[in-house]
Structure 1
Amino acid sequence: MESRFFIAPEQLEAFEAAARSGSFSAAARSLGKAQSTVSGLISNLEIDTGLTLFDRSGREPKLTAQGRSLLHDVRSLLNSYSRFEAKSRSLNAGLEESLTIAVDESAIDLGQLVQSLDRFYTEFGTVSVSLLHASGESAAALVREGKADVGIVLSQSDYPEDFDFRGVGSCSFVLVSGKSHSLAALEKVSIQDLHNHLHLRISANSDPASLPENDLSDRIWYLESYSLCMAMLTAGLGWAFAPLHIARPYIESGAITVLNTDFQLTPYPYCTDLIWSRRKTLGPAGRRLIDEISHSLSTEGTEAA
């Protein structure tokens, strides 16, 4: 029967430190241990594995071929130990193992969301995060069904009784078309002008009856993403209401243009809400995530002035 041996993490730490620093004394200083302790840990590791890990014939120990072969695996094991210890501490402290966020891209500049998540990761690196692309009402449905912990959505007039929400910012919608579209040549665009051309709409907006683009054309194509919408507008196909934070790069590059209208002189403003269900209590990570996004949007806003 094949014998098994137990390798202590301290042995692996001593081996890795000596390999990295080039000497047992330097490894001892980096670990805050006596040199004799580090030497003993490495010697015991060699006895337990039956391998010679360091050549001690010179002034300083040098990794043998066997030692070099094991070094990568040792570092992987030490990283796994560190993650295990961090996650154990987090779970004992009541920290969530994972969070799921349903994101309506029309409600938030994704660059700002990434900045918020970067700050969140610095504090809660052991928490696994899933981001779901969910426009409008589908984001609220995911939260209601327990499939998402937090939703980032355009503000709705009424939420279910078991929902909590926080207004955190605002965004603007602009009327746009491709530079080559006939609407772009008009000094002022009327409702009748829009009625005569193809309207591109995102199919899952939060409250279709409340959005300004309703019934402005009898020719409507429904799309699931703004990236597809921008591609079609750039090609000169149709017009759309789009969030300024999504349309801005295409406007600045000259691919699409903002249409001047005789019925709306300023961009359509919408509020951005964070939503979550009272049925599922948010832990420290979920609460921090809400605070991070709230801070980002309330101090910077989803739209640049």
Structure 2
Amino acid sequence: MKYSLDQLSAFKAAAECGSFSAAARRLGKAQSLISTAIANLEIDLGVSLFHREGRYPQLSAEGARLLPEAIAILQRCDQLSGIAHGLAAGQEAKLRLAVDDSAQMPWLGDLLEQLAVTFPYLELELLFPIMEDLHGLLLSGRVDLGISYEAAEHPKELAFHALRQCKMQFVVSRQHPLALEKTVSLEMLQNHRQLMVTGRHSGAEKERFRYSPSVWWVEGDWPVLELVRRGLGWACLPNHFADAALQDIVQLPLQFSENRLQVGVQLVWHPAHPLGLAGQWLKEALIHKSSQIMDQLG
């Protein structure tokens, strides 16, 4: 490759500004330098980029075809410089976030939009492990931050910060026998299949909200919801998730205190694994957002 980035910049500026003199003003260079750069680029590429017969240069057919390629090269160079600048300043090469329950995305999405604006060249990996699987990823260093439901047992190595409270609903399809009952007792729930979210590890967490002896274990809230819709059992799902499907399912009127069940949502990290600039920013933003939520509730 004989041509330079300065030549491509001169080509782009001249095409966008409509003249070599205007391009020179934009780039803060003498017009002669712009004219020379474009002429040398034409020699290197073996084509004429502009028609120069009139008062102002006009893109040739070859120039019009090559302009998007030149712009793409310059944009990739800007991206390379941006990534390198971020890395030099302490930004991590990749931020890895694990979220237990994809239904958290509506409120979390606002912060991820801000993250994208604040760190435009950041590479983000967003995973959705369940329960103990999330803690395992943090302990191994596979992910940097986690957002999970409050666990019955916390690994001592991890640090936690409460983000919000999540209310739960006991739901069934409109065609399920329990949907016809005016009130539902614990014994009635035990007579029907329960659909439960599960991770890939066994443990106390897996059994925490089990009420029925008959269970289908399902990896993820969305598959659970689909099975509930099909009348294959009842489930306990987060309000923000169940409300989106109320045209297909109904909330059970329970006779016992679990009708007001709440589960905490936590931010989780490993203190021994330091965060980069983007991870620290997201951690602080999540904690700040949780304080705003608590203030509203208080």
Tell me the TM-score normalised to structure 1 length.
0.89
Residue 120 (structure 2) pairs with residue 131 (structure 1): no
Distance 1:174 1:202, change over 3 A: same
Map 1:75-90 → 2, pairs under 5 A: 75-90=71-86
The 1-side partners of 2:15 and 2:206 are apart by 67
Q: Is the 8 A contact 2:138 2:269 kept in 1?
A: yes
Query: Could you say which residue in structure 1 is the equivalent of 2:205?
Result: 208
Could you say what secondary structure the match of 1:139 adopts? helix
Query: Could you say which residue in structure 1 is the equivalent of 2:105?
Result: 110
Could you say what secondary structure the match of 2:54 adopts? coil
**How far has the Cα of 1:173 moved from its partner?**
1.2
Deviations 1:68-113 (A, max 9, x none): 221121111001110111111111111101011111017x621111
Query: What 5-or-longer segments of structure 1 have no aligned partner?
Result: none
Count of aligned positions: 295
Map 1:140-289 → 2, pairs under 5 A: 140-204=135-199, 207-208=204-205, 211=208, 213-214=209-210, 216-251=211-246, 254-264=247-257, 266-289=259-282
Query: Could you say which residue in structure 2 is the equivalent of 1:52?
Result: 48
The 1-side partners of 2:132 and 2:57 are apart by 65
The 2-side partners of 1:207 and 1:100 are apart by 27
The 2-side partners of 1:152 and 1:29 are apart by 51
The 2-side partners of 1:288 and 1:83 are apart by 21
Distance 1:198 1:159, change over 3 A: closer
Q: Is the 8 A contact 1:201 1:240 kept in 2?
A: yes
Structure with bigger helix share is 2
Deviations 1:229-283 (A, max 9, x none): 11111122210000111111112xx211111111126431111111111232111
The 2-side partners of 1:195 and 1:218 are apart by 6
Q: Is the 8 A contact 1:171 1:269 kept in 2?
A: yes
The 2-side partners of 1:297 and 1:255 are apart by 31
Residue 64 (structure 2) pairs with residue 61 (structure 1): no
Q: Is the 8 A contact 2:131 2:198 kept in 1?
A: no
Q: Is the 8 A contact 2:170 2:235 kept in 1?
A: yes
Q: Is the 8 A contact 2:99 2:128 kept in 1?
A: yes
Q: Percent identity?
A: 33
Query: Could you say which residue in structure 1 is the equivalent of 2:91?
Result: 95
Amino acid in the other structure paired with 2:248: A
Query: What 5-or-longer segments of structure 2 have no aligned partner?
Result: none
Bigger shift: residues 20-29 or 88-97: 20-29
Map 1:35-50 → 2, pairs under 5 A: 35-50=31-46
Could you say what secondary structure the match of 2:96 adopts? strand
Could you say what secondary structure the match of 1:208 adopts? helix
Q: Is the 8 A contact 2:153 2:205 kept in 1?
A: no
